[in-house]
Each structure stands twice: as structure tokens, then as C-alpha cells.
Chain A
């Protein structure tokens, strides 16, 4: 069965600092991987996704993630945090095109001025 683990339920960074949110997955087949962002009192918005091809994926708002099959990881990074990045971030996996999404428990990102 697939599962997703996000290391750290809360991450705090200073404005301008590197953002690193960790995601590890387990899957018996090559998965599709996603990062979603949820701003307060809003729905989920797709940041980026990996399906096939290039393992470094660029998303919206300057975020990117790298699929590392050998490490079963899909960590999310942004070189310089902005106050507007404060939100909850969810990593998710699905084993194939028709599969259901399995979500991690979420990481709340705080950005300090």
C-alpha cells in the first residue's frame, strides 16, 4: 500500500531563507507525485507535480521539487522564502493515472520577518 510521510508538522524559516519541506513515499510502482498548498481557510492548490520525464520539477511561486527514486523522496524547496509563502503544504502520491491520491499529514510553514 502507498503511504506518504512528511517530516516535520511545523517548519519555521526567516524571510529570505531557504525553504525545505521533506516528503518520503512508499509505493510498489513508480508513482505520480504532487505538492499542494493550502492558504488559511481556502482549498488546495497545486504547486507542482511529477508524472514522468525530468526529475526536477518547477512549480508556481518559485517552488521546485526533485523526484529521487533511490531515496523515495520528493522534497519541496524554494531558495528564498517570502511572507506570502506561509501556508500548509501537502505531499501526495498516486500509483498510476487512475489511482486515488494518498496525502501526507501536512507541514505548516511559518515565515518570520
Chain B
């Protein structure tokens, strides 16, 4: 199993551009999450999904959109990128059931200038 994979690893965007961060998991997990990590702030939840077709906002959803058309994929869309979206983005997934552990991807480092 590859686990959780994210592409790209790095990206530089100009202000106002848009892009999609890709996340795929091969563990047949129902739950998927997007976090952003800023220095000294820990990880903040952007959006999450409990299954295909179902998404919901987390703590910091403004400026982002998500979709979940399949169990495997959970892309994060940035529209009109702003410098405040410069961050490291992590995707995670977990199974339904008694084990609450989340499995993380390697991250995407995004710079908006």
C-alpha cells in the first residue's frame, strides 16, 4: 500500500492564481481530512469528508473548496490564491470504526507571492 499520497510536493503561485492539491489514499478509508500547518500554530483543519459525496467545513475553510467523488480521492481547490494561504498542506485519512488514528500524507509546501 502506498498509503496517503499528495501532489505536488512544492508549488509557487502568484496572487490570484488558482490550483488544486491532490490527495489519494489506497486504504479504502471513508474519512479524509485536509489540514494546513503554519509555524507555531500546529495543524488546523480546513475541510473533511466522511465518505464519497459528503464534505464539511473545518476550522479554517475560507478560500478553499473540496469535493469527494470517489472514496480514494479528496482534492483541495484554492481559488484566487492569497499570501495568507502560504503554508504546508497535509491530507489525512482514517477508517470508520473503533480506531481513531489518522494517517498522513507527506504534505504539499505552497508559497503564494
Contacts and interface: CB of A to CB of B under 8 A. Distances in A.
B106 to A, nearest CB: 4
Q: Is the interface of A mostly helix, strand, loop or mixed?
A: loop
A67 interface: no
Interface residues of B, number: 26
B48 A32 contact: no
Contacts of A42: 106-107
A105 B41 contact: yes
Interface range on chain A (Cβ under 8 Å from partner): 20 to 34
A49 B106 contact: no
B98 A101 contact: no
A40 B107 CA distance: 12
Interface of B: 4, 31, 33, 35, 40-45, 48, 50, 58, 90, 92, 97-107
Interface of A: 4, 9, 32, 34, 36, 42-46, 49, 51, 90, 94, 96-101, 103-106
